[in-house]
Amino acid sequence: MVETVLVTGGTGFVGGWCIRELLERGYAVRTTLRSLSKEPALRAAVGAEGPAGERLAVFIADLTSDEGWGAAMAGCDYVLHVASPLGGGVDDEALIGPARDGTLRVLRAAVAAGVKRVVMTSAAATARPPRDSGKDSDESVWADPADPQFDGYRRSKILAERAAWDFMASAGGVTTLTTVLPSAVFGPVLSKENLGSVRIIQGIMQGRPARLPRLGFWVVDVRDLADIHIRAMTSPDAAGQRFIAAGDYMWMEDMAKALRSALGPAAAKVPTRRMPDFAFRLASRFTPQLRFFTPELGRKMGLSSEKARRVLGFSPRPATTTVVECAQSLPGAE
């Protein structure tokens, strides 16, 4: 019997890849959109045109409203709760409210429908210790949302995941919860909508910033992230667990070198010079999102996916491959 999976936020970068992978593996898939006007573009992006498209259904539902979630959830075996508001200059509460309250809406509907398991996309930041603790990030760590290192987006992820675990502890019923905590998500884009962290690669390709800061990321490929969501969905050992999903660490300077080496003339605008550390620290005073990184200039904080590898067989591809294929897939890339 074909099992049915609901993916929230189907037009998102991660959500789109989850839908595509589920369809390829034979699942019946549902997804939620705020408007049916986006359905044709979604189907084209995830390859749901033709026979596979018969297994994709679209429902109207929004994280800020209870309407539509019961219908979307009815009869589902699993839920991948991927949708979450992204940062971009809005105030903290505009992110925190929809992320936290939207998560609770999804969980209430899933529990009411008797869904087997909800897999929620959190963030590696939710497992980040205080800067002066001397500890590395792992699944046993819970970040403090009041820590000044976090911007509104990261606080929203911390508070949403906390709310999810608290709710399921008291009201989960037969439904189990698993959370996936990805690092910086790159990889091939399916559409130009909701690029998220891919904008970092897009900026480098366009020559922004003109000089590269001593800044790096634990890279996870969006295809590997979709795969670990599905593994977490079906593995009996994943119930009630958190899993960090991170691959290789890569400095921005190394990203730039990889892009120039692999793409040749197409990477002509990629920066070649280093930004002085003092200049980046100065910029971070006026850009809250940069404060998360500034004190770690020239140093990488420990982040391990050992648990995901051991329990789920997570096997991320090389970061260089992810970064190059990400750039090649960007709108306008040759």
Catalytic residue positions, numbered:
157
Alpha carbons 29 and 14: distance in angstroms, whole number: 15
Alpha carbons 82 and 13: distance in angstroms, whole number: 10
Q: How far is CA 199 from CA 10, 139, 241, 272, in A?
A: 19, 27, 30, 18
Burial track 51-74 (b if 16+ CB lie within 10 A, e otherwise):
ebeebbebbebbbeeeebbeebbb
**Exposed/middle/buried for residue 222 (C-beta within 10 Å: 0-12, 13-18, 19+):** buried
Alpha carbons 293 and 313: distance in angstroms, whole number: 30
